[in-house]
Amino acid sequence: MTPSATAQPRTGTGISRGALLTVLLSVLVVTAMIASSVIAREDGDSHRRAQVLVEQIRASSQELSAFKWRTDVEVLTSHADLGLTGSIFTSGLAIVTKLTDEISQLRRLAPGPDTNLLTRDLRALIVAGEAGFSSLNSPGGRSNQALEHLQTSFQPTLNRLDADAVVAAQNQQVVAAGALRQSLLASVGTMLLGVALLGVLGWRLAGLTRRVALADEVRALERRSEQRIRALVERSSDVVTVLDRDLRVRWQAASAKGLLGIEPGALVGSPLGPLVHPEDRALLESFLRSRLDATGPATLRTRLRHADGRWLHVETIAEDRFADPSIEGLVLNMRDISERVEFEEELRHRAFHDALTGLANRALFENRLRHALASGMRTQRSLAVLFLDLDDFKTINDSLGHAAGDALLRSVAARIDPLVRPTDTAARLGGDEFAVLLDGVQGEEEAEEIAGRILSALTEGFPINGRDLRITASIGVAFSDESVDADALLRNADMAMYAAKATGKNSLHRFEPTMHSSALERLELRTELPRALADDELRVYYQPIVSLAAGRMVGVEALVRWDHPGRGLLPPGQFISLAEETGLIVELGRWVLAHACAQVRAWQLETPQAADLYVSVNVSIKQLHDVHFPDSVAEILATTGLPPELLVLEITEGLLADDRDAILRQLDALKSLGLRIAVDDFGTGYSGLSHLQQFPIDILKIDKSFIDDLDSDPQRANLVQGIINLGESLALDVVAEGIEELDQADRLHGMRSKLGQGFFFARPMSPERVGELLHGSLDLPAPAAPEPGTDPGERTPR
């Protein structure tokens, strides 16, 4: 659409001239043929009339000849007087007059040699007749003289006239026949040519009709297209605007009302400046002026004010069309992109913010950290990084489910964010790890004060799913200096956080250079762990599980160790988490299970005392989520020959709340093999009685933290007694873990706990030491005799 009048549709002037020329030529040719035919026909008619006249001349000649004899007779026989001779002369003269008239008509119809000859004959005949008549009427004339004259002069002339009339008649007959043929040919030719010309004319007219119809259709399409384009432009959300060289509006589409809320034509003669955001006016004017006399379109984003006062993000495409006579202006196509801009801003926000908590994500945090370090070096401004990790978050997440864990993370973020300064950045790095960038701290004390406020805020309860959850955190603090970059500073804070966890959690720790070596050691172990499994550097140690009543070993728990060639024997705490991080825990767990089952089966075959000895093996969550895990356990049992009822698989309490349907299916599949299921660290999670009733559980293992406070914390003692009572009511075996003193063993025995495990009885030991214990070379300490009233009997573990 342009502001100028719409161009007139192309007409069919060329086609009409060609058709008119064809028609004109056709008319001329047909007219000429008709005229030729008419002339031929008239010529034929003339010759036929001439032929009739020749015949009449012959008849008149014969009549005149007959009149001569009658005159002779009368003259010779009756010797008529002069009156009679005059009458005879008058009659002959009438015949000659008629003959003269007929020859005159013939001369007019068919002039030519024949007519000229007949004319001469007539004149000669008249002369001869006048001479005879004169001799007859002269004084003293004689009839015999007149008769002699008629015989010698008049009669030959009359005979010649008759003969010439015969020849003329024959000639006229031939000419008339030729004229007739010519007329007939002319008529047929005219008809054929007329038909041909009519065919050509019809073909041309048909083509003309088609072209006219096509031209009409094209014009109709152009009109519809123009109407459609006009309708689209007027109803489109885009606004087409044409500016003059002074950047004033010459024309604007009606769609301006839909985009800007202004009436069509309201801006004509005015610049766009008043509609443009003040911050964008200079940019837009510079852009528009740069497009004058420029080639091709260009695009710019600006903000325009709507009639209701709000600002719209508008994309403007400008193109110089001054050379187009139908436009002669700078054409702007303006489109509302507010939604797209908002979407882009949302995407940008999502790209740099954590979707769960709304805090900055790792990418944004690291970006701001790099910029803060660069700025701090120029301005001598100090900064610090706090690295925060929630203590025991995995237990909550596993026990209450990921939805509750996510809700807790959101609540933690809401607690942290208000405690930092406007110049600082709080971020969630992933999982339960958070970080805070303190930009421009006055000293280490200020940074640690902010970290302390965060720790105090997190100790207050969080209402999650109807529970008042309490959680702590460990915070590592690292400070900037000229020797560290952003990655190193964040890594230092991370290492300080692990040091805080190692010192008892719910605390903060400042980074020390010696922590770097610990981090390097962890990285090295992570790299070396696959090789350790491949090179058979792993060892399985066994800790006895004892009957508290008899002091006899009834089972063992398999615990893995790493016999590192350079670092010595490493406990599982130094590498199990690495195996879980790398995904190697499934393969490692299968290796431990296979070795433990094979070792216990070997003891059973070697020693009668080990005939009922069972082995308890820990199972990670990744193993339990492996759909092939039940088949793997069945294969190990079949290969080693260990009776299934002497195998116990230990799972943590938190697994009972994680994806319950899937865990239940796996446990049912394992139970169908004949083995038993134990819940490890029972009491630290949030499983309820419904979990114990729904899942196929056989053994409860009381966590060591409850046993440690058994004598000092009556509430913990009551909780332990409640777990033992719960086990009895559900017909479950109960194993008390972490027994380190005789008093603990005695009290648990008095609480009717059947089984115990801990350093008081034995530390984890090698297979050789367990073999010695089974053969009687080693003794286990036994608790005191049960108090009066207690059942000294022992129920064999199922």
Residue ranges per structural domain of the chain: 13-217, 236-344, 353-513, 528-774
Q: Report residue 307 as tokens.
A: 């009639």
Cβ atoms 375, 381 nearer than 8 A: yes
At the topology level of CATH, where does 13-217 sit?
Four Helix Bundle (Hemerythrin (Met), subunit A) (1.20.120)
Ramachandran sector of residue 533 (left: φ over 0; alpha: ψ -120 to 50; beta: rest): alpha
Task: Read off the DSSP letter of residue 613.
Answer: -
Query: DSSP per residue over 505-554, as a string?
Result: SSSEEE--TTHHHHHHHHHHHHHHHHHHHHTT-EEEEEEEEEETTT--EE
Task: Read off the DSSP letter of residue 151.
Answer: I
Euclidean distance between CA atoms 403 and 466, whole angstroms: 13
Give strand pairing partners of 243: 249, 330
Euclidean distance between CA atoms 71 and 698, whole angstroms: 178
- Mean of the per-residue pLDDT values of the chain: 82
The CATH-assigned architecture of domain 353-513 is 2-Layer Sandwich (3.30)
Per-residue pLDDT tens for 686-707? Answer: 555 666 778 899 999 998 888 9
Query: DSSP per residue over 78-123, as a string?
Result: I---HHHHHHHHHHHHHHHHHHHHHHHHHHHHS-SHHHHHHHHHHH
Lowest-confidence region among 16-20, 181-185, 392-396, 572-576: 16-20
The whole model's pTM is what?
A: 0.47
CATH (one of 3.20.20.450, 3.40.50.1370, 3.40.50.2300, 3.40.50.300) for 528-774: 3.20.20.450
Given a cut of 50, whether residue 314 has pLDDT beyond it is: yes
Given a cut of 90, whether residue 392 has pLDDT beyond it is: no
Per-residue pLDDT tens for 401-459? Answer: 889 999 999 999 999 999 998 899 999 999 999 999 999 888 888 999 999 999 999 98
Cβ atoms 316, 332 nearer than 8 A: yes
Average pLDDT over residues 274-284: 92
pLDDT at site 38: 72
Euclidean distance between CA atoms 680 and 543, whole angstroms: 15
Lowest-confidence region among 5-14, 258-267, 482-491: 5-14
Euclidean distance between CA atoms 769 and 751, whole angstroms: 31
pLDDT at site 790: 36
pLDDT at site 678: 94
101 against 14, higher pLDDT: 101
pLDDT at site 443: 81
237 against 489, higher pLDDT: 489
The CATH-assigned architecture of domain 236-344 is 2-Layer Sandwich (3.30)
| Alpha-carbon separation of residue 419 from 90, 430, 458 (angstroms) | 162, 20, 11
Average pLDDT over residues 560-565: 94
Euclidean distance between CA atoms 144 and 147, whole angstroms: 5
Residues 6+ apart with CB under 8 A from 68: 92, 150, 154, 155, 158
Give the distance, in angstroms, between the CA of residue 758 and the centroid of all CA atoms in the same chain: 65
What's the burial of 461, exposed, middle or buried (CB within 10 Å: 0-12/13-18/19+)?
Answer: exposed
